[in-house]
Chains A and B, each alone.
Chain A
Amino acid sequence: MITKRIIPCLDVRNGRVVKGVNFEGIQDVASPVELAHFYNDSGADELVFYDITASYENRGLFTDALTQVAKEIFIPLTVGGGINTLDDFDRVLKCGADKVSVNSGAIKDPSLIEKAAKKYGDQCVVLSMDVKRVDGKFRIFSKGGRIDTGIDALEWAKNGENSGAGELVVNSIDTDGVKQGFDLEMLQAVSELVSIPVIASGGAGKKEDFLELFKAGCADAGLAASIFHFKELSIADLKKYLNDNNIEMRI
């Protein structure tokens, strides 16, 4: 049977990995290539790179870093950030990405998911969604979590699957950076609705949070950034802990 996956996320700005709290207060952390090696060696099942480069001019720094990582790390790589067109898919796939994650690009042009799935296959298209509670409903936010699009998150997830997305990354803005555990209520609602893999993001603070996530059966993978970057939790220890608690892991 396939294992649950542990996926560190690297937010890359101008060629460096950064991590913010609630999408703000960004601080510099490390070189993407160094961190990718570190995570690969410690047993990460996949790596996600989000390009949060502010200006178009600096985009090259991201693709350089990605190419370097893809040359040296042989586990699946997902790339997101600034993906608005099929040309953007092409650009990052050529640098060695295996999957491409769309977020705001799909909000601007929902046909992007279908077009990309037809061209590159469903397995290549990841729909990433930033979700926040508004008046008791789950809503999709765009622009790095700043703008309420008014779109219902559950409908959005289902439409994404129907259009050909192969996976969903579901990030809870309410729990992101808070380190009090994943947003199980929201993840449960999404995973009951779709049959494609759900990657949970936002809120992991300790290994028990991952155990709770997988025991609840509402995600196929857990994604986190800061607890791994700042070495509060090692992926190797986390995977051993989960495996000891009957969650199958690639050890």
Chain B
Amino acid sequence: MIAIIDYGCGNLFSLSSSLESLGIECKITSDKAEIEAADKIILPGVGAFADAAKKLKESGLGELVVSLASQGRPILGICLGMQMLFEKSFEYGAHMGLGLIKGYVGPLEGQIPKELKIPHMGWNKLNLAKADPIFKYTDAGDYMYFVHSFYARNCIENTLAFAEYGVAVPAIVKSGSVYGMQFHPEKSGAKGLALLKAFSEI
């Protein structure tokens, strides 16, 4: 069973529907016992970093995720949920993340040519940097759906795939049993579902 952590950040309907369509058992939950009992955990997230970090901290769910990661439980952070995995974010101030992956989150603004729009929104290609079981059903050049204005930095050794948008944007990162996807696999059609399927089989 995959636990989708509900900490009040984002709409989880598509995520649970996409897993269900793959025949993967999942539950949207904020119950610690249920999360602890799950085989795998998805940390979703849409919105502002500071707000999400605060909610994870106050609920104690952040601490739980960190403890399960240290036991080797497969964890997947999606979009803002991926950004939460890093040590720090500089999205409107400086905020602490969960520190599960080395690196920090910073703005695209100022780092990419002016003619490129922010947010980085739309379908972009995956460039694969390292082999990994998460790519069991994925090919280089598969398109994924991105929507974000901040991106992970200083994490090249943990980057499995990146997208080109004026800079190399880390698209899939990994440290130990912890994965992060900057794009929305649950909104990326069949190719996105293929990544979720591979995660469920890890």
Contact = CB atoms under 8 A, between A and B. Distances in A.
Interface residues of A, number: 27
B21 A72 contact: yes
Nearest to B47: A121
B17 A123 contact: no
Interface in B15-32: 17-18, 20-21
Interface in B127-159: 143, 145-147
Contacts of A51: none
Contacts of B146: 2
Contacts of B164: 1
A196 B147 CA distance: 13
Interface string B164-202: 110000000000000000000011111011000000000
A45 B121 CA distance: 12
A1 B165 contact: yes
Q: Tell me which of A45, A76, A96, A167 has the highest count of chain B C-beta atoms within 10 A of its own C-beta.
A: A76
A74 B188 contact: yes
A196 B117 contact: yes
A166 B121 contact: yes
A220 B48 CA distance: 25
Interface residues of B, number: 30
B17 A76 contact: no
A74 B123 contact: no
A3 B122 contact: yes
A220 B119 CA distance: 13
B124 A74 contact: no
Contacts of B50: none
B187 A2 contact: no
B13 A96 contact: yes
A93 interface: yes
B145 A75 contact: yes
A209 interface: no
Of listed A72, A96, A121, A197, residue having the most chain B CB within 10 A: A121
B189 A123 contact: no
Interface of chain A: mostly helix, strand, loop or mixed: loop
A197 B48 CA distance: 21
A164 to B, nearest CB: 12
A160 to B, nearest CB: 15
B121 A2 contact: yes
B11 interface: yes
A5 B122 contact: yes
Contact of A94 (B13, B46, B119, B188): B13
Interface of A: 1-3, 5, 40, 45, 70-72, 74-76, 93-96, 98, 121-123, 166-167, 195-197, 220, 250
8 cross-chain pairs, A with B, having the tightest CB-CB distances, nearest first? A2-B122, A250-B143, A250-B123, A71-B17, A3-B123, A96-B13, A123-B147, A2-B124
Interface of B: 11, 13-14, 17-18, 20-21, 46-48, 117, 119-124, 143, 145-147, 164-165, 186-190, 192-193
12 contacts: A2-B122, A2-B146, A3-B143, A45-B122, A71-B21, A72-B21, A74-B17, A74-B190, A74-B193, A94-B13, A98-B11, A166-B121
